[in-house]
Amino acid sequence: MNLFREIYQSIVRRDSLSTDKGKSELVFLNVWLHIHPAKVKKEHMKFRHTFYLGFVTFFLFLILVTTGIVLMVYYRPFPPQAYQDMKDLEFVVFMGPFLRAMHRWSAHAMVVCVFLHMCRVFYTGSYKKPRQFNWVVGVMLLLLTLGLSFTGYLLPWDQLAYWAITVGSNIGSYAPLVGGQLREWLLGGHSVGEAALVRFYVLHVAVLPSAIILLTIVHLWRVRKDGGLSRPVWTLKKDKPQDLVTIGAPVGAAALKTSAASPSKTYGLMEVVTGKPIFETITPEEEEDTVFSYPYAFVREAVALMVTVTGIMMVSLFFHAPLEELANPAKTPNPAKAPWYFLGLQELVSHSAMLGGVVAPALMVLALLAIPYIDRNPSRRISDRKWAIWLFTIFVVANLILIVVGTFFRGPGWALVPPWVHVVAGAE
């Protein structure tokens, strides 16, 4: 018995959870949890502050990794076996359709959640100093998410996949000078074929996931280092100048005197140093407003996780992932559409290839990356940021309108057809 206890205690080395010490040790003695602070501000946990969108996105990613790994077991990335494997998943593999549906719907949901998360961060002004670069990391994560979704789109090797990728990669090829090269490099040829499938597979299961995991680590690490989440806008007080504090000293302690470094002395890392912190500091009265991460933050995150998982499972139980005919380069569907999140661009391309293929995407990405550096207004209050809010809202709404028009209002020949009108394709 003693041996078992010893083994248990060698693994879980914290004190009992009934003590505050135990609660904080749960967090900072655990490699998986220590990204959390031991204590969090109550206001950070408010649902209407973040809608837990970052968490939901992360949980969706976990579902995608899990289901994706299982799907890999059943998948061969070359045509036409790839398509046959889809059929096998559909008809033979135990719970195959459910698995595929979960992967598919989580992927779509992740694109949506990343975007909504970005909107939340913008509207709360949470990209402002010192979080500018974390916004940039976030934009890169958005691009990686789109890349993962796009590369995954081809893998079933059906008509939907083939033509969506053909159209999508054509949009990219409008970029001057590099566009054609880029497309050829991505597809391994002039059109979507065997080489493209293998490349997309490698990108989808190895390159992009590694990149997104690395950047997610950076993203979360910086949130933690910036003092946790940004404060809800409604609790913002008047900005006060940052005091000189001693990092690592108890809150409220007087700053240590700084002295010039002696040239003969060697400094170790463990020294107490003096300087301005990069993160938001908290005052003693704010300190009182905090609670232990365990159980308060964790139980909320756990609920968010279960809501995400059950939501996706429920949808997957009733709606199977689509699978069309085997990819046929000789048979173009009319209209051939890119994946839905690129339909805004395709809609623009239908008016001007230069605008939709080059100017709009380049401007969008550059503008998103540059937002924290262009917006030099230090205030996070909505009333102080009318211009920024308006501009961003126009950007979001314009995107939505273009995507909705491209998805639901475009029929054969890219003609404007309302979704309630059923167009019967003419006999060939």
Partner 1 sequence: MERRLQQAFFGLSILALVLIVAAAWQANTPSWKTYQHNFLQLEAQGEPNEVTKAAVLATPPEIHQVILTGLQRVDRCTTCHLGVEDPTMKNAPEPFRYHQGLGPHTPSRFGCTICHGGQGLATDTNGAHGKVDFWPNPLLNKDYIRASCGRCHKEGDVPGVPELTEGRRLFESQGCRGCHKLNGVGGSIGPDLTAEGANHRSPDWLERHFLTPNAVSAGSAMPNFHFNNEQAKQLTYFMLSLTSEEMGSYYSSVRLIPGPEYGRQLFVEKNCIACHNIGGVGAKTGPNLAGVTKAHSAQWLDEQLVNPELVYPGSSMPAYDLDANARKALLSFLNTATADDAQLILSNRTKALTPEDVAIESGHQAYARFGCVGCHGADLQGGVANPNAQGGEVPSLLHLSDDYTKDEVLAVIRNGRAPPLDNPNGPTPPLYMPSWKKVLSDEDINHIADFLWSKQQKKKADSW
Please select the residue that binds partner 1; options are 22, 97, 193, 411, rule is CB under 8 A.
97
The DSSP H or E segment spanning 290 is strand 290-292
CA gap 272, 185 in Å, rounded:
52
User: Which CA distances in Å does 352 have to 83, 355, 385, 409?
Assistant: 34, 5, 33, 18
Residue with structure tokens 């655990």?
30
Give yes or no for residue 188 binding partner 1 (CB under 8 A). Answer: no
Read off the tokens for 398: 């314009």
Give yes or no for residue 423 binding partner 1 (CB under 8 A). Answer: no
- To partner 1, the closest distance from the beta carbon of 104 in angstroms equals 15
- To partner 1, the closest distance from the beta carbon of 232 in angstroms equals 17
SS3 134: helix
Name the one range near partner 1 by CB under 8 A: 86-94, 356-364, 382-390, 406-414: 86-94
Per-residue x/- track, 321-340, partner 1 (CB under 8 A): --xxx---------------
Give yes or no for residue 158 binding partner 1 (CB under 8 A). Answer: yes
The residue among 134 and 316 lying less far from partner 1, judged by its C-beta, is 316
Burial class (CB in 10 A: 0-12, 13-18, 19+), 87: middle
Instruction: Give the bridge partners for 39, in sequence order.
Output: 292
Give yes or no for residue 156 binding partner 1 (CB under 8 A). Answer: no
Name the one range near partner 1 by CB under 8 A: 33-41, 70-78, 134-142, 296-304: 296-304
Give yes or no for residue 293 binding partner 1 (CB under 8 A). Answer: no
Give yes or no for residue 320 binding partner 1 (CB under 8 A). Answer: no
Phi/psi for 237 (5° steps) reads: -105, 180
Please select the residue that binds partner 1; options are 37, 96, 172, 228, rule is CB under 8 A.
96
CA gap 211, 294 in Å, rounded:
30
The DSSP line for 27-66 is HHT-TTTTTS-SEEEGGGG-HHHHTTHHHHHHHHHHHHHH
The residue among 106 and 134 lying less far from partner 1, judged by its C-beta, is 106
Give yes or no for residue 307 binding partner 1 (CB under 8 A). Answer: yes
Name the one range near partner 1 by CB under 8 A: 62-70, 245-253, 297-305, 393-401: 297-305
Give yes or no for residue 74 binding partner 1 (CB under 8 A). Answer: no
Name the one range near partner 1 by CB under 8 A: 208-216, 320-328, 388-396, 408-416: 320-328
CA gap 128, 114 in Å, rounded:
19
Considering CB under 8 A, how many residues would be counted as binding partner 1? 33
Name the one range near partner 1 by CB under 8 A: 94-102, 116-124, 193-201, 245-253: 94-102
User: Which CA distances in Å does 379 have to 23, 41, 282, 425?
Assistant: 35, 21, 18, 55
List of E strands, 38-155: 39-41
The residue among 89 and 371 lying less far from partner 1, judged by its C-beta, is 89
- To partner 1, the closest distance from the beta carbon of 424 in angstroms equals 13
Give yes or no for residue 62 binding partner 1 (CB under 8 A). Answer: no
Q: Which of 220, 226, 222, 228 is nearest to 41 (CA)?
A: 228
- For residue 56, the tally of other CB atoms under 10 A from its CB is 23
Residue with structure tokens 């964790």?
298
The residue among 288 and 428 lying less far from partner 1, judged by its C-beta, is 428
Q: Considering only residues 344-383, where is the footprint of partner 1 by CB under 8 A?
A: none
Binding site for partner 1 (CB under 8 A): 84, 87-88, 90-92, 94-98, 158-159, 295-296, 299-300, 302-303, 306-307, 309-310, 313-314, 316-317, 323-325, 426-428
